Amino acid sequence: MKKTASVVAVGIATRSHLAAASVSMASWHYHHSESARLLYVIDDDVSTRESPLLPERLPAQALLGPRFRSTAYALPAVGLCCALKPYAMLDALARTGAEKVVYFDGDVAWYSSPDTLLTALEPHSLVLTPHVLGPVKADALPDETVIRPYGIWNAGIIGARGDSAGRDFLHWWAGMMADPRRLRAETGWDQSWLDFAPVFAPSLGILRDPGYNVALWNLAERPLALAGDSSWTVGNQPLVSFHFSCFDESAPDRFKRAHITCTHPVSPSLARLGFDYSSRLKQARMHLPATGYRFNFTSDGQSLGDMHRSLLLENWGELPPASDPFAAAWRLPGHSLTFADHARARIRRGKLALTLKRAARSLTAKVLG
């Protein structure tokens, strides 16, 4: 009989990001090989050439049941991945019988053993990592004002026990994620809801180890250095995990996000880390087919955009549970037009409004000039 692992590591990915997920999962396995690993893939319903780096792969559709397709239409890929986190963690606990579950984003790479995190899960039912560990230095960006809308905690790494307290919090969080109207990019999708954790999870543990979840938003407080040829440190401690959020393979030494200003300079050690990660991604991609994200298109090939998603969210309260807005003939209850026709009409009106606004500005400029 196969021995039940006491820890299960969980990831969520789209087909288009399997390379990053495989690197993430392989790096965890290298430092904690005794744990089980489950990767939930959102749009993986076709046969693909397996990567030797990939763990057991499961379809994510079952996590939301009949609401999956409408949620996949309402949210972009990153939002859908975020919405599924608590569901995947609960499913992994039930599926494996593990005592502890650790979720981490597909752009998190592990460089040392996660023992501190796993030890923290002994007395605590939930363990979270803050975006920053202390007040941000004066004139450094991003600061608390920039970070605050995204929440106190970073949801890129989360640990939970399979006890009643851990499951209760995951069930509450899943309930919040069940309605896509509650997820917004400007509030970190799922992250801001974790601000309730200190109240709703009395057994919360705060992981203050600076080696975990090092990222763009906390580089100012966590000086990264290269010790020897391949060992990185943060201050006087080993780097455990780095969060390559919005990593750009074409510029692996930049570490910038379009909507966040970072004043921390890129050190040679940080640049080396970026180039090393980029190399691992390229190697992983050699074993995987090049595929796009399946839920960016309707069944008749219409490309989805913010206008389509906004329209569905506006009508979310009317949707029957098993709705499939991807279907070309699907209609909102009581509507004669198909949803696709509604979306096209909304887009035409938006383009017309933009044209009229530009014409008005041009006319005003001529009159005033």
Digit-coded pLDDT (tens) for 138-190: 888 888 998 999 999 999 999 999 999 999 999 999 999 999 999 999 999 99
**Confidence (pLDDT) at 257:** 61
**Confidence (pLDDT) at 305:** 84
**Confidence (pLDDT) at 330:** 83
pTM of the model: 0.90
Residues 109, 244 contacting (CB under 8 angstroms): yes
Based on the domain organization, do 281 and 304 belong to the same domain?
A: no
* C-alpha 123 chain-centroid distance: 27
**Confidence (pLDDT) at 1:** 36
Residues 190, 89 contacting (CB under 8 angstroms): no
Tokens describing residue 288: 């995987």
Tokens describing residue 278: 């980029």
Based on the domain organization, do 281 and 308 belong to the same domain?
A: no
Based on the domain organization, do 31 and 119 belong to the same domain?
A: yes
Which DSSP state fits 190? Answer: T
Tell me the DSSP string of 208-273: --TTSSB-GGGGGGS-EEEETTTEEEETTEE--EEE-TT--TTSTTT--BTTB---S---HHHHHH
Residue ending a domain, choose from 285, 315, 331: 285
Which positions ≥6 away from 53 have C-beta within 8 Å? Answer: 22, 23, 25, 26, 284, 287
**What CA–CA distance (Å, rounded) separates 95 from 63?**
12
**Tens-place pLDDT, residues 34-87:** 999 999 999 875 445 455 567 788 999 999 999 999 999 999 999 999 999 999
Based on the domain organization, do 218 and 335 belong to the same domain?
A: no
Top-confidence residue, 303 or 130? 130
Q: Is residue 119 predicted with pLDDT exceeding 60? A: yes
**Confidence (pLDDT) at 355:** 60
**Confidence (pLDDT) at 259:** 60
In-domain check, residue 134: yes
**Confidence (pLDDT) at 348:** 65
In-domain check, residue 346: yes
Based on the domain organization, do 210 and 124 belong to the same domain?
A: yes
Q: Is residue 14 predicted with pLDDT exceeding 90? A: yes
Mean of the per-residue pLDDT values of the chain: 87
Top-confidence residue, 118 or 364? 118
**Confidence (pLDDT) at 125:** 97
In-domain check, residue 2: no
pLDDT, average across residues 284-305:
85
What are the start-end ranges of the H helices in the chain?
A: 18-31, 68-74, 77-96, 115-120, 144-147, 164-177, 197-200, 268-285, 306-314, 339-368
In-domain check, residue 96: yes
pLDDT, average across residues 285-298:
86
In-domain check, residue 295: no
Q: Is residue 230 predicted with pLDDT exceeding 90? A: no
Tell me the DSSP string of 42-58: TT--S--PPPTT--EEE
Residues 63, 36 contacting (CB under 8 angstroms): no
**What CA–CA distance (Å, rounded) separates 33 from 24?**
13
Based on the domain organization, do 272 and 355 belong to the same domain?
A: no
Top-confidence residue, 321 or 206? 206
- Domain limits at 152? 7-285
Strands 7-13 and 36-41: parallel
Tally of domains in the chain: 2
Tokens describing residue 59: 């379809």
Q: How many CB atoms lie within 10 A of CB 318?
A: 12
Residues 84, 60 contacting (CB under 8 angstroms): yes
Tokens describing residue 195: 């601000």
Strand-pair partners of 243 = 108
298 φ, ψ (degrees, to nearest 5):
-80, 175
In-domain check, residue 247: yes
**Tens-place pLDDT, residues 257-289:** 656 666 667 788 888 999 999 999 999 988 887
3-state secondary structure of 349: helix
Based on the domain organization, do 275 and 351 belong to the same domain?
A: no
In-domain check, residue 292: no
In-domain check, residue 110: yes
Name the pLDDT band for 6 (thresholds 50, 70, 90): very high
**Confidence (pLDDT) at 140:** 81
Based on the domain organization, do 224 and 248 belong to the same domain?
A: yes
Based on the domain organization, do 309 and 360 belong to the same domain?
A: yes
Residues, the chain: 369
Based on the domain organization, do 213 and 349 belong to the same domain?
A: no
**What CA–CA distance (Å, rounded) separates 56 from 44?**
13
Residue ending a domain, choose from 239, 261, 285: 285
Alpha-carbon dihedral angle through residues 199, 203, 204, 205, given to the nearest 10 degrees = 150
**Is residue 307 exposed (0-12), middle (13-18) or buried (19+ Cβ within 10 Å)?**
middle
Residue ending a domain, choose from 258, 285, 312: 285
**Nearest residue to 150 via CA among 178, 130, 170, 173:** 130
**Tens-place pLDDT, residues 324-366:** 999 888 888 877 777 777 777 776 665 545 565 565 565 555 5
Q: What is the CATH number of the domain that holds 187?
A: 3.90.550.10
pLDDT, average across residues 239-249:
90
Based on the domain organization, do 344 and 236 belong to the same domain?
A: no
Top-confidence residue, 260 or 246? 246
Based on the domain organization, do 114 and 182 belong to the same domain?
A: yes
Residues 143, 112 contacting (CB under 8 angstroms): no
**Confidence (pLDDT) at 251:** 81
